[in-house]
Every structure is written in structure tokens, then in C-alpha cells.
Copies of this chain bind each other. A is one copy, B any other.
């Protein structure tokens, strides 16, 4: 960490991206959001027990769509406010009595901005674990990892030898779920949207078999190779969910993590087979990772252990500049990115390597 460079490089102004208009249906990047350059950095002077953070990386996640409108689980982002986002940053200034030091890397809810003034207690220190990299705190060790971990283990409750099927399997969460399944001794069937992804899932992640849902005979293939399942970790919804409702073992569990096919669809196709839940005595359950905050410690420790043993693979798809965030976000729903979508904001922290 080149502390002298950090301190020298603070610019007079910074850019942030604000939430401009509630979307009806799809996000329209430069209508839903507005780029605001040339805010004075001097206005972000950290007060008592506060810090100024230069944002290095921001995480873009499907859940962000839920933050833009009325929803039951949190206040929506207010019009005119900086768009919320979790990120990694470097402390570049400390206020009176701050417990932090300039140069430390921290994680926090900085939002879509180049600089953020934060309370001491609103940021947390992170050290890169052996076998890991900084970005892993926005991947396996962050929200994505906790989503995969608690969705699979707390909702899916898989037992060794059971059959797990994962849709959106090459995505940030899905690819972790596949690997957790393999690590826990499950038969893992992965569904993704290209032959390249299928190859990656089978050869790199070691799933039992992967399927390209764009193949016309995908349902026949699934019947032949997968048969029926115990746990379905669903990131996609739509037709595949409908099909899976006909392929449940007794007491099957469908983990509703997302519905990418429906996010993208002005008229969600819906599901007609929910009565099959009766004869299979099965459940469909939604969840949000942050309900399990009290259990993050052991979960992160287990993920770090796997990372240090080289047992978890992950990809990062990085776009540059906070200004890119509005156009990058919709990629999560169109399949445009492969791997965890990240915005690289600052140039202060140089060249973090990415791994495939």
C-alpha cells in the first residue's frame, strides 16, 4: 500500500450516481439513474469517529432491483440519493478519534460514488485470506457467498448423496452453489445458457452434469440424466421452474433465490404446477442472506478454508468507473456477464489480479 500516493492523489471533485426515477419494469440506465460529476470532495470532510473512503470496487447484485421500488423488506432508495451498493475501499482520511488508519482496506455500503464519508462503525476491516484475493469479499466471502451458503444449507438442507439442481449455474451465486454442492457430496446438475458455460461447469467446477437450457431437448436431457431432484436452487424462475415442479422427489425443497427470466419479462410467465407441492410434500421458500447475519462468522470461516485449499473457483466480470454502473446493472438480468459483476471505481488501488 503506497500511502504517500494515496494522500497526494485526492482530487478536488468526485462523481457519484444518484437514483433519478423509479423504474416501471426494466431499468433504463440513464433515466433510472443520473451521473453527477464535480461534487466537491471538501464537502466530505470526516467528522468525529468518521472516515473518508476512496471507493475501490462496488458489487452489482440482482437484489438491487428490489431496492428501487416499494418492497416489504427495506426502505427503497430515495430519489436523488446516491444509489446504494456494497463495496471495498481505502481509507484516505480519518476524523477526530477515528479508530481507523489511512491506507486500510475496508468494506461498507458506500453506494455508487467515488468517495464516501462513513461512520467508523459502518465500515469493517478485511484482510485477504491465504488463497484468496481482495475481490473475494464481494464474492465467496461477501453477500454472494452468504447467499449461496445459507440458501443452500438453511433452506435447501441437502443431505449427502441427494440430488441438487441449480439454475443460473454459471452466475455469481449459482457457480458457488454448484461448488458447495460438490464439496458436500451431492449429485449436482447445473443449468446455464451457453455451451461454454456448460464446459466450465463440468470441467472446472466438477458438477455431475451441466445442461444448456437453450437446447431444444434440454428437458429430455434433464429427465434422462437428472431424473428427479431433492433440492432445486432456483435463480431463474419461468419455464425451468415449471418443469422442475414436475420432477420433485418426496419432500423436495425449492430454494427461491431469484427469477432472472421474470425480471426481464414485462409479463411474468408464472407457474402452474404449484399443486405438485402437495403430492410431493415439497416446499418453495424464499430467503435473504442478511437474515443469517448471526451465523456469518462460521460460514465465512468455512468459505475461507475452502479458498485457502483451492477448492472454490470464481470469476469476476469487471467494468470500469462508477459511471458504468447504470449500464452494467441490467446485464445481471440479460446474462451479459459471466461471473460476479463488479465495478472498479478508483485507480488508487492498483492492479488487483483476477482469477478464473
Where the two chains meet, the residues of A that have a C-beta atom closer than 8 Å to any C-beta of B are: 66, 71-73, 237, 241, 248, 250, 256-259, 262, 268-272, 274-288, 291
Known contacts: A282-B285, A286-B280. The answer to whether A274 contacts B72 by CB under 8 A is no
Neighbour of A284 across the interface among B241, B250, B270, B274, CB < 8 A: B274
A275–B259 contact, CB under 8 A?
A: yes
B283–A286 contact, CB under 8 A?
A: yes
- Copies of chain A in the complex: 2
Known contacts: A271-B274, A274-B259. The answer to whether A279 contacts B71 by CB under 8 A is yes
A291 to B278, CA, bound (A): 12
Interface centre among A258, A268, A275, A291 (most CB of B within 10 A): A275
B250–A73 contact, CB under 8 A?
A: yes
Interface centre among A257, A278, A284, A287 (most CB of B within 10 A): A278
A262 to B278, CA, bound (A): 14
- Top 7 closest pairs, chain A to chain B, by CB: A277-B286, A278-B286, A270-B272, A283-B285, A270-B270, A268-B272, A259-B275
A283 to B288, CA, bound (A): 12
Q: From A248, which residue of chain B is reached at the shortest CB distance?
A: B72
Least distance between A15 CB and chain B CB atoms (Å): 31
Q: From A265, which residue of chain B is reached at the shortest CB distance?
A: B272
A283–B284 contact, CB under 8 A?
A: yes
Least distance between A77 CB and chain B CB atoms (Å): 15
Chain B residues lying within 8 Å of A274, measured Cβ to Cβ, are 237, 241, 256, 259, 270-271, 274, 284
Chain B residues lying within 8 Å of A237, measured Cβ to Cβ, are 274-275
A262–B275 contact, CB under 8 A?
A: yes
30 A–B contacts from the bound complex (CB under 8 Å): A66-B279, A72-B248, A72-B276, A73-B280, A73-B281, A256-B275, A258-B275, A258-B278, A259-B274, A262-B272, A262-B275, A268-B275, A270-B274, A271-B271, A271-B274, A274-B274, A274-B284, A275-B286, A277-B284, A277-B285, A277-B286, A278-B287, A279-B288, A280-B286, A281-B285, A281-B288, A283-B284, A283-B286, A284-B284, A285-B285
A278 to B287, CA, bound (A): 5
Chain B residues lying within 8 Å of A276, measured Cβ to Cβ, are 72, 286
Chain B residues lying within 8 Å of A250, measured Cβ to Cβ, are 72-73
Chain B residues lying within 8 Å of A280, measured Cβ to Cβ, are 72-73, 286
Q: From A62, which residue of chain B is reached at the shortest CB distance?
A: B278
Least distance between A245 CB and chain B CB atoms (Å): 10
Chain B residues lying within 8 Å of A284, measured Cβ to Cβ, are 274, 277, 283-285
